[in-house]
């Protein structure tokens, strides 16, 4: 099968307008004859559910948490980008498009990114109308800030809780449609399989997490908005329930998985403290606007930070990148922290941390100014670490934060399975090899509010969707398989817990497929993963029963899928013989240790097809053509 | 981050799924790092229970950074435990002493049914929001964002209210199991913004009616909700909601 991205022709500025004009429409009276399943209620799934229901479709929405308001989009702190150019500082749709393509290290599809920038302004209008309490100037007009090293101020924010506020806006719109009877909400459900009938996505099988009952749901199309797979690393900034299961099940049913090795590591997280740590906490990137990153110049210097004189400190980002300094992009900042710690300069009990020091900023601006800017972050740091960042430097270390890879989609956001649409972090389309700050919220809402309402109509209006029954063999088989898996997990009765396996896998991936990858490390991971997986299926212990609220069983199913997915991620990393963005293979770097792309041979999307158990996945390549942006080497010197 | 380890005695509420009654069960938690969060301490207990062939304690949790509102339990009589402005996942074990006994039970209220152990059903909160906790704007029909200025002071006050994470601690700590703090946070946020005014009367009446129907109690100014709210939402929002309610009742056509 050849990948057809279905990008419309013509100049990039007119593609989306032209496409919208050409898409078939579903008559208003006919919309109520169609049912759409939406899985996930984060920014993408929540906004899609509400918008599709407003149009008149019947929507069935599923989420894993007890309420659609809790999806992990809620934890996003910094802000959302849009090309409003309110500050009059030279921003435009074009510049936002350009920055996103460049930031993604030229591995994203131009046309999708342009559309993202184009609809960004509509998102802000929509959110303001929903009553989202964005930060405002004294005039009452919206405030902007610069974020993630961008040279314009295009980020809209609601204190340090922008994700929460945007999600609650989408949740409000979704709640309105639930009350109107247009959305049927199914909380505490986990999607365990996709049902494909006559080659089209026609339903899902879910487990009711409270009762353990299996349920079958049919629809005319399925929209997947189930987030990223960062938790494959065990420790990440993702919420505990974030997982790859829904996407992986779709992959095994025929949806190609694109660029799984593009994972983002965020430089400013609170370091790991011990073996029982369950997750990592991100500290907003905005801290690097005022904090200075340093380590001691001497290896193993165990003095307290305040006892280390200025002359014995290495402000390594400022030294290596004089023009961007502490504000280099996420991938560069992360890698440099790793280099320093690997060289033995790391600080703290584990040696896996660097200092982020606010002493100079506090002396320059006063404590009150710093508190106004970062008070909530400093308080969070103090709560977790027990140390006061006003008087002693913060300790930070990079952590897995976001995954740019995901299910392959075309311009309509449809996967390689007709009728299966994939939105938000779950798809691969907009961020290339590295996502810029404040762009995840923009993409989730762009997909849900302003793309899928148009493109799904074009699909449904195309016809050929005969009625399906949940009693049919396709549904029965999918359910049978899911139940068999659950029973197998419960029957093993081994000696190791699910978390124990998850930690082993995560540790392996963090070392061998994390910030700095090597062929030897990747090969080691490829050798080890099948062994861990085999032991999991022989020696895992999952207590409790099937017809119960059984959180161990939930985790076991997710880890089982991570153990399969991990192999694909490492395979993809090995196959990409270059470094770009979040994928850094140490064999491919410039003399200055920057990522060295190979545009001649790897300017493509790597889309993997599942070929069956114990068979190597098949690689398909979607060539990326850059007609509007010139490929350059990123430089932040 | 100088970690110590402590030993604790836990009295945890156990209740099987589908059963109306439960009881406290006692567990020993040994060698708990003071750098751990409260939920990480429960993870350790659960790992040991699993290995010893017993069923782990069910408890809800997700983001573990204090924003999703999924976690929560009553710890030594306080919703989310003893630290002010802190969710259970952000409560760290350094606030406990070696040898402490800790009682852990679910959020209790008529409207919050226990699902299992510490996990409760807070679907009633979703029902309250569905009764009007939104602005009725369809996607695509919004005016340009800056066409409606919002005084900075109002935007900030609205944000104070909007910080609610919907965890249910206010209900668990209230002697009347009232949802007034939760409800007022949403009413207040919307009432402070020009975008929320057209539906203000309908919203407050609809949400209050729903709250009563779901079996939550009323507010008698005990202020326990404010004391235990992990986001420190002020009861001033209840006062604003009461004004909205009076205005709606006397001066609007909404019923």
| CATH code for the domain of A581 | 1.20.58.100
- Pairing, β A420-422 against β A221-224: parallel
Copy the structure tokens of residue A304.
Answer: 């307290």
Asked whether residue A571 is domain-assigned, the answer is yes
Residue written as token pair 């960042």: A389
Copy the structure tokens of residue A531.
Answer: 């062994």
CA distance B143 to chain A (A): 6
- Residue A127 sits at the vertex; the CA angle it makes with A124 and A132, to the nearest 5 degrees, is 120
Q: Which of A184, A174, A181, A173 is nearest to A206 (CA)?
A: A184
Contacts of B155 in chain A (CB under 8 A): 133-136, 140
Asked whether residue A311 is domain-assigned, the answer is yes
A395 interfacial to chain B (CB closer than 8 Å): yes
| Per-residue pLDDT tens digits for A367-405 | 998 988 888 889 889 988 999 999 999 999 999 999 999
Predicted pLDDT at B1: 46
The burial class, CB within 10 Å (0-12 / 13-18 / 19+), for B19 is exposed
C-beta neighbour count of B96 within 10 angstroms: 21
Q: Which of B81, B122, B69 is nearest to B105 (CA)?
A: B81
A89 forms beta bridges with none
Q: Which of residues 46-105 of B touch A (CB under 8 A)?
A: 47, 49-51, 53-56, 58, 60-70, 86, 90, 92, 94
C-beta neighbour count of A98 within 10 angstroms: 17
CA–CA gap between residue A144 and residue A148 (Å, rounded): 13
- Residue A474 sits at the vertex; the CA angle it makes with A471 and A475, to the nearest 5 degrees, is 50
Backbone angles phi, psi at A39, to 5 degrees: -110, 120
Q: Which of residues 253-312 of A touch B (CB under 8 A)?
A: 273-274, 276-279, 281-282
Asked whether residue A404 is domain-assigned, the answer is no
CA–CA gap between residue A143 and residue A597 (Å, rounded): 37
CA distance B24 to chain A (A): 19
Backbone angles phi, psi at A576, to 5 degrees: -85, 100
pTM for this one?
0.97
What residues contact residue B58 under an 8 Å CB cut-off, 6+ apart? A549, A551, B115, B116, B117, B118, B119
What does each of the 255 residues of chain B score in pLDDT, given as a tens digit?
467 999 999 999 999 998 999 999 999 999 999 999 999 999 999 999 999 999 999 999 999 999 999 999 999 999 999 999 999 999 999 999 999 999 999 999 999 999 999 999 999 999 999 999 999 999 999 999 999 999 999 999 999 999 999 999 999 999 999 999 999 999 999 999 999 999 999 999 999 999 999 999 999 999 999 999 999 999 999 999 999 999 999 999 987
> Does A486 share its domain with A614?
yes
A386–B129 C-beta distance less than 8 A = no
User: H or E segment at A521?
Assistant: helix A519-539
Residue range(s) in chain B whose domain bears CATH number 1.10.1060.10: 122-251
Residue range(s) in chain B whose domain bears CATH number 3.10.20.30: 5-109
What residues contact residue A357 under an 8 Å CB cut-off, 6+ apart? A291, A292, A293, A294, A305, A393, A394
CA–CA gap between residue A42 and residue A246 (Å, rounded): 14
B190–A122 C-beta distance less than 8 A = no
Per-residue pLDDT at A227 exceeds 50: yes
Asked whether residue A145 is domain-assigned, the answer is no
A126–B50 C-beta distance less than 8 A = no
Backbone angles phi, psi at A291, to 5 degrees: -85, 150
Q: Which residue has the higher pLDDT, A579 or A349?
A: A579
What residues contact residue A281 under an 8 Å CB cut-off, 6+ apart? A237, A269, A270, A380, A384, B64, B65
Q: Which of A165, A87, A174 is nearest to A133 (CA)?
A: A165
Q: Where is the domain boundary, A383, A399, A415?
A: A399
Do B70 and B61 touch, CB atoms closer than 8 A?
A: yes
Copy the structure tokens of residue B173.
Answer: 């700590």
Contacts of B134 in chain A (CB under 8 A): 130-131, 172-173, 175-176
Do A384 and B92 touch, CB atoms closer than 8 A?
A: yes
Do A319 and A293 touch, CB atoms closer than 8 A?
A: no
- Pairing, β B23-33 against β A200-208: unpaired
A264 forms beta bridges with A402
Note the maximum CA span of chain B: 64
If you measure CA to CA, which chain B residue comes closest to A69? B68
Using a pLDDT cut of 70, give the percent of chain A over it.
100
Q: What total of structural domains would you count in chain A? A: 2
Question: Which SS3 state, helix, strand or coil, does residue A189 take?
Answer: strand
Q: Which domain holds residue A492?
A: 480-623
| Per-residue pLDDT tens digits for A325-343 | 998 888 889 999 999 999 9
CATH for A370: 3.90.700.10
Copy the structure tokens of residue A6.
Answer: 């279905």
The single-letter DSSP state of residue B144 is P
| Per-residue pLDDT tens digits for A435-459 | 998 999 999 999 999 999 999 999 9
Confidence at A637, pLDDT banded by 50, 70, 90? confident
Which has the minimum average pLDDT: A144-158, A246-260, A384-398, A401-415? A144-158
* pLDDT, chain B, mean: 97
Confidence at A614, pLDDT banded by 50, 70, 90? confident
A330 has catalytic annotation: yes
Taking 3-state DSSP, the helix, strand and coil percentages for chain B, each rounded to the nearest 5, stand at 40, 15, 45
Question: Which SS3 state, helix, strand or coil, does residue B104 take?
Answer: strand
Q: Which of these CATH numbers, 3.40.50.300, 3.40.50.1220, 3.40.640.10, 1.10.1060.10, describes B122-251? A: 1.10.1060.10
Mutant choice from B5, B62, B191 vs A, greatest count of A C-beta within 10 A: B62
Buried b (16+ CB within 10 A) or exposed e, B195-213: bbeebbbbbbbbbbebbee
- Residue A549 sits at the vertex; the CA angle it makes with A280 and A68, to the nearest 5 degrees, is 60
Asked whether residue A185 is domain-assigned, the answer is no
Question: Which SS3 state, helix, strand or coil, does residue A166 take?
Answer: helix
| Per-residue pLDDT tens digits for B195-206 | 999 999 999 999
CA–CA gap between residue B83 and residue B65 (Å, rounded): 15
Predicted pLDDT at B2: 63
For the segment A558-586, the average pLDDT, to the nearest whole number, is 97
With both helix axes pointing from N to C terminus, report the angle between A452-461 and A43-55 in degrees, rounded to the nearest 10: 50
If you measure CA to CA, which chain B residue comes closest to A169? B134
Per-residue pLDDT at A132 exceeds 70: yes
> Does A502 share its domain with A593?
yes
C-alpha torsion angle, residues A608, A440, A399, A362 (rounded to 10): 160
A552 interfacial to chain B (CB closer than 8 Å): yes
Question: Which SS3 state, helix, strand or coil, does residue A332 take?
Answer: helix
CA–CA gap between residue B181 and residue B81 (Å, rounded): 19
> Does A392 share its domain with A490?
no
Asked whether residue A564 is domain-assigned, the answer is yes
Per-residue pLDDT at A312 exceeds 70: yes
Asked whether residue A48 is domain-assigned, the answer is no
| ipTM for this model | 0.98
Q: Which of A13, A121, A61, A183 is nearest to A450 (CA)?
A: A121
Q: Which of A212, A192, A229 is nearest to A490 (CA)?
A: A212
Q: Where is the domain boundary, A399, A414, A433?
A: A399
Mutant choice from B93, B139, B207 vs A, greatest count of A C-beta within 10 A: B139
* pLDDT, chain A, mean: 95
Per-residue pLDDT at A78 exceeds 90: no
Q: Where is the domain boundary, A365, A399, A433?
A: A399
CA distance B109 to chain A (A): 17
Asked whether residue A350 is domain-assigned, the answer is yes
A20 interfacial to chain B (CB closer than 8 Å): no
Q: According to CATH, what is the number of the domain B5-109?
A: 3.10.20.30
Q: Which of A508, A611, A489, A616 is nearest to A558 (CA)?
A: A489
């Amino acid at each position: 099968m050849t990948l057809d991205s279905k990008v419309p022709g013509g100049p990039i500025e007119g593609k989306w307008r032209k496409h919208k004009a050409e898409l078939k429409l579903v008559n208003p009276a006919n919309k109520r004859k169609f049912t759409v399943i939406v899985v996930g209620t984060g920014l993408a799934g929540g906004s899609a559910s509400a918008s599709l229901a407003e149009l008149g479709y019947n929507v069935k929405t599923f989420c894993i948490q007890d309420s659609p308001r809790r999806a992990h989009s809620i934890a996003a702190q910094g802000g959302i980008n849009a090309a409003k150019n309110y500050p009059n500082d030279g921003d435009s749709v074009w510049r936002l498009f350009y920055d996103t393509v460049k930031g993604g290290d030229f591995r994203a599809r131009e046309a999708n990114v342009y559309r993202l920038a184009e609809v960004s302004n509509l998102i802000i209008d929509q959110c303001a109308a929903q009553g989202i309490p964005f930060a405002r100037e004294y005039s009452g007009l919206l405030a902007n800030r610069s974020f993630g090293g961008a040279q314009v101020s295009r980020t809209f924010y609601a204190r340090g809780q922008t994700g929460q506020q945007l999600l609650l806006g989408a949740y409000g719109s979704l709640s309105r449609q639930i009350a109107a009877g247009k959305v049927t909400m199914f909380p505490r459900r986990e999607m365990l399989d996709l049902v494909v009938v006559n080659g089209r996505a026609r339903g899902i099988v879910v487990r009711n997490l409270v009762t353990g009952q299996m349920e079958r749901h049919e629809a005319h199309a399925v929209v997947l908005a189930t987030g990223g797979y960062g938790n494959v690393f065990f420790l990440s900034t993702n919420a505990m329930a974030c997982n790859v299961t829904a996407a992986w099940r779709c992959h095994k049913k025929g949806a190609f998985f694109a660029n799984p090795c593009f994972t983002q590591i965020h430089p400013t997280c609170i370091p790991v403290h011990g073996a029982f740590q369950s997750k990592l906490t991100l500290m907003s990137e905005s801290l690097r606007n005022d904090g200075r990153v340093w380590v001691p110049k001497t290896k193993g210097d165990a003095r307290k930070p305040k006892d280390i004189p200025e002359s014995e400190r290495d402000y390594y980002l400022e030294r290596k990148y004089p023009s961007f300094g502490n504000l280099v992009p996420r991938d560069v900042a992360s890698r440099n922290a790793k280099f320093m710690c690997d060289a033995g300069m790391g600080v703290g009990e584990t040696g896996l941390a660097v200092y982020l020091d606010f002493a100079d900023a506090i002396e320059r601006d006063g404590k009150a100014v710093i508190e106004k800017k970062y008070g909530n972050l400093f308080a969070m740091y103090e709560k977790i670490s027990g140390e006061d960042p006003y008087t002693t430097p913060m300790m930070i270390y990079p952590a897995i934060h976001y995954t740019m890879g995901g299910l392959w989609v075309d311009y309509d956001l449809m996967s390689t399975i007709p009728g299966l649409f994939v939105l938000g972090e779950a798809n691969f389309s907009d961020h290339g090899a590295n996502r810029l700050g404040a762009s995840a919220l923009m993409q989730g809402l762009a997909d849900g509010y302003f793309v899928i309402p148009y493109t799904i109509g074009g699909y449904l209006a195309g016809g050929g969707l005969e009625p399906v029954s949940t009693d049919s063999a396709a549904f029965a088989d999918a359910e049978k398989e899911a139940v068999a898996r659950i029973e197998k997990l419960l029957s093993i009765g081994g000696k190791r817990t699910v978390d124990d396996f998850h930690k082993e896998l995560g540790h392996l991936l963090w070392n061998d497929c994390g910030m700095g990858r090597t062929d030897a490390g990747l090969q080691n991971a490829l050798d080890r993963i099948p062994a861990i997986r085999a032991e999991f299926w022989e020696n895992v212990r999952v207590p409790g029963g099937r017809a119960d609220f059984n959180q161990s069983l939930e985790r076991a199913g997710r880890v089982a899928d991570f153990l399969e997915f991990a192999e694909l991620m490492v395979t993809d990393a090995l196959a990409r013989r270059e470094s770009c963005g979040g994928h850094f293979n140490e064999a491919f770097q410039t003399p200055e240790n920057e990522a060295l792309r190979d545009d001649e041979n790897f300017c493509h999307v790597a889309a993997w097809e599942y070929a069956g158990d114990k068979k190597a996945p098949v690689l398909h390549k979607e060539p990326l053509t850059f007609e509007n942006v010139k490929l350059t080497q990123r430089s932040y010197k | 981050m100088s970690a110590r380890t402590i030993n604790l005695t836990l009295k945890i509420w156990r209740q099987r799924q589908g059963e109306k009654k439960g009881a406290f069960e006692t567990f020993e938690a040994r060698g708990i790092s003071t750098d751990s969060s409260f939920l990480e301490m429960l993870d350790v207990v659960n790992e040991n229970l699993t290995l010893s062939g017993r069923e782990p304690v069910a408890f809800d949790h997700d983001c573990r950074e204090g924003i999703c509102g999924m976690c929560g339990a009553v710890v030594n009589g306080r919703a989310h435990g003893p630290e002010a402005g802190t969710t259970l996942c952000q409560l760290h074990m350094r606030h406990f002493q070696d040898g402490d006994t800790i009682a852990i039970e679910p959020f209790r209220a008529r409207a919050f049914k226990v699902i299992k152990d510490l996990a409760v059903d807070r679907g009633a909160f979703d029902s309250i929001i569905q009764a009007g906790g939104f602005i009725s704007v369809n996607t695509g029909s919004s005016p340009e964002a800056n066409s409606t200025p919002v005084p900075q002071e109002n935007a900030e006050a609205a944000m104070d209210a909007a910080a609610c994470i919907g965890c249910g601690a206010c209900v668990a700590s209230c002697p009347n199991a009232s949802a007034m703090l939760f409800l007022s946070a949403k009413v207040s946020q919307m009432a402070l913004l020009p975008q929320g005014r057209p539906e203000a009367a309908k919203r407050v009446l609809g949400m209050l009616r729903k709250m009563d129907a779901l079996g939550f109690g009323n507010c008698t100014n005990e202020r326990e909700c404010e004391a235990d709210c992990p986001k420190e939402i002020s009861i001033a929002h209840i006062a604003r909601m009461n004004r909205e309610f009076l205005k709606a009742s006397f001066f609007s056509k909404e019923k």
